[in-house]
Amino acid sequence: MTGQQRIVVLGAGYAGLAAARGLARSMRGARVTVVDARAEFVERVRLHQAVAGQEVRRWDLWKMLGDKGIEFVRAEVVDLDPEAGLIRLGTGAELGYDTLVYALGSAADRARVPGVAEYARVLATPEDVRTLPAGPVVVVGAGATGIELAAELAEAHPDSAVTLLGASAPGAWLSARAADLIAGTLSDLGVAIRSDAEVAEVLPDGVRLTDGTVVPAATVVWTAGFTVPDLARRAGLDVDDYGRVRTDDTLRSISHPAVYAAGDAALMAGPGDRPLRMACATAIPTGGYVARAIARRARGAEPDPMRFRYYLQCLSLGRRAAVIQVLTADDRPARTVLRGRPGAWVKELIVRGAAFSVGAR
Ligand SMILES: Cc1cc2nc3c(=O)[nH]c(=O)nc-3n(C[C@H](O)[C@H](O)[C@H](O)COP(=O)(O)OP(=O)(O)OC[C@H]3O[C@@H](n4cnc5c(N)ncnc54)[C@H](O)[C@@H]3O)c2cc1C
């Protein structure tokens, strides 16, 4: 390659920012450009707090990136042409690259069940956040997002009825102790839990379950399922059924070696022979790793394969409690669980540390 290397990072979420900052440090001669449709970095892991009415800070991306010598382009990416090494923007402009980092994150899956797109609120991106009207709320999905949202709403609005519907118990994938703590704290906050509920349809005024029962609600919030942008699929990259870019053990696309992927939009092998989870806890280290892998290859060396393990899984339960599940090296729940106020402090520190590490200071 002759001239200045052009590295374009798509997405200024946790993964894209971690990659861009790492590249700015390790690839001083390169031109690093980040593209995002938003002008601000928003802490996505606090969106449930925003729905409950709390102020969630935003950071100007020009300032965050400009301070590090990284160019920022605010535009929607509408097309990717990996054969020509080009991305096309909603503004009509094109941007050429030698190396691309694909970190476009994820959004709510509104298509899985009828009525979600028409009648449900979702909670996956800052654009989804709106304060809820008064009246009973049904949160569908007893995964981490549903649990955190139900707890936050019940704590902030103790007079509103909040129901958490899931096909299994909240926190069922964690240790029995963690799941018990979650169920106990949710109940103390007044959240009604239904753990055998499969939603067949979202209605204008509630949800209909597969057994025919109708659960009435003024607002339904759908947290059961995420999807990723279809850009990579449309561009002919090798992707999985969700559209996540399939990567090798250096997080390079297995079909297009000039493209790396990280965060929610990437399919990456993880501990215990399972793919890495869609999580901020995944996005930051994988973004950082991609920067190191690109820098190493630019120096003519082969990067070591990514080694990754999770240590904790942290779920906030309102502002006064959390459950911190310690994990084994193969990503299974260990016996140790931290809870209550100390848990809430740990979770808050981790969330602040995540933002700080990508330059939101
Ligand atoms: C309510 C909630 C709570 C969460 N809590 C936790 C938690 O406690 N711990 C944890 O580990 N994870 C948590 N997560 C998950 C975590 O937020 C995500 O896994 C993480 O944000 C993924 O990072 P990312 O960089 O891959 O994507 P994102 O953070 O989603 O960033 C992607 C970026 O790409 C941009 N983009 C997308 N498409 C386009 C396009 N076509 N053109 C231009 N720009 C585009 C977006 O604007 C966005 O800025 C939570 C998620 C939610 C919704």
> Tell me, what CATH number does 239's domain have?
3.50.50.60
> In ligand 1, which atom is closest to the CA atom of 231?
41
Pairing of strands 71-74, 58-60: unpaired
Backbone φ and ψ for 240, nearest 5 degrees, come out as -90, -170
| 167 in a structural domain | yes
Q: Give residue for tokens 């509920």.
A: 197
Examine the pLDDT at 1 and tell me if it is beyond 80. no
Full-prediction pTM beyond 0.95?
yes
Per-residue pLDDT at 273: 82
Find the domain containing 131 and state its range.
108-225+310-357
Mean pLDDT confidence for 58-76: 97
Examine the pLDDT at 73 and tell me if it is beyond 80. yes
- Alpha-carbon torsion 35, 41, 45, 49, what sign? negative
Q: Which of 248, 268, 298 is the last residue of a domain?
A: 298
> In ligand 1, which atom is closest to the CA atom of 13?
31
Residues 132 and 274 in one domain: no
Examine the pLDDT at 78 and tell me if it is beyond 90. yes
| 1 in a structural domain | no
pLDDT tens, position by position, 134-147: 999 999 999 999 99
Residues 47 and 130 in one domain: no
Mean pLDDT confidence for 285-305: 98
- C-alpha distances in angstroms, 272 versus 174, 275, 327, 329? 15, 9, 12, 8
Residues 6+ apart with CB under 8 A from 47: 56, 123, 124, 125, 126, 128, 129
Q: Of 310, 313, 335, 317, which is closest to residue 325 (Cα–Cα)?
A: 313
Which residue of 226, 268, 280 sits with most ligand 1 atoms within 8 Å of its CB, as the best mutation to test the pocket?
Answer: 280
What are 32's two structure tokens?
């690093």
Residues 217 and 131 in one domain: yes
What CATH number is associated with residue 341? 3.50.50.100
Which residue of 10, 100, 104 sits with most ligand 1 atoms within 8 Å of its CB, as the best mutation to test the pocket?
Answer: 104
Q: Distance, CA 13 to ligand 1 centroid (Å)?
A: 6
> Measuring from atom 29 of ligand 1, which residue has the nearest CA?
13
Using 50, 70 and 90 to split pLDDT, how confident is the model at 303? very high
Using 50, 70 and 90 to split pLDDT, how confident is the model at 201? very high
Examine the pLDDT at 129 and tell me if it is beyond 90. yes
**Residue 97 and residue 90: Cα distance in Å, rounded?**
17
What are 193's two structure tokens?
């839990």
Residues 57 and 69 in one domain: yes
Per-residue pLDDT at 272: 81
Q: Which of 298, 319, 345 is the last residue of a domain?
A: 298
**Residue 14 and residue 356: Cα distance in Å, rounded?**
10
Residues 221 and 324 in one domain: yes
| 87 in a structural domain | yes
Residues 206 and 235 in one domain: no
Residues 170 and 112 in one domain: yes
Residues 101 and 152 in one domain: no
| 305 in a structural domain | no
Per-residue pLDDT at 131: 86
| 304 in a structural domain | no
| 333 in a structural domain | yes
* Burial class (CB within 10 angstroms; exposed 0-12, middle 13-18, buried 19+) of 350: middle
**Residue 203 and residue 209: Cα distance in Å, rounded?**
11
| 303 in a structural domain | no
Residues 88 and 129 in one domain: no
> Measuring from atom 4 of ligand 1, which residue has the nearest CA?
45
Q: Distance, CA 128 to ligand 1 centroid (Å)?
A: 12
Ligand 1 surroundings by CB, under 6 angstroms: 11-16, 35-38, 44-45, 47-48, 76-77, 103-106, 123-124, 145, 148, 229, 263-265, 278-281, 283, 314
Residues 40 and 144 in one domain: no
| Number of domains within the chain | 2
Residues 219 and 118 in one domain: yes
Residues 203 and 244 in one domain: no
pLDDT, averaged across the chain: 96
| 42 in a structural domain | yes
Using 50, 70 and 90 to split pLDDT, how confident is the model at 2? low
Q: Which of 277, 298, 319 is the last residue of a domain?
A: 298
Question: Hey, how many other C-beta atoms are within 10 angstroms of the C-beta on 60?
Answer: 12
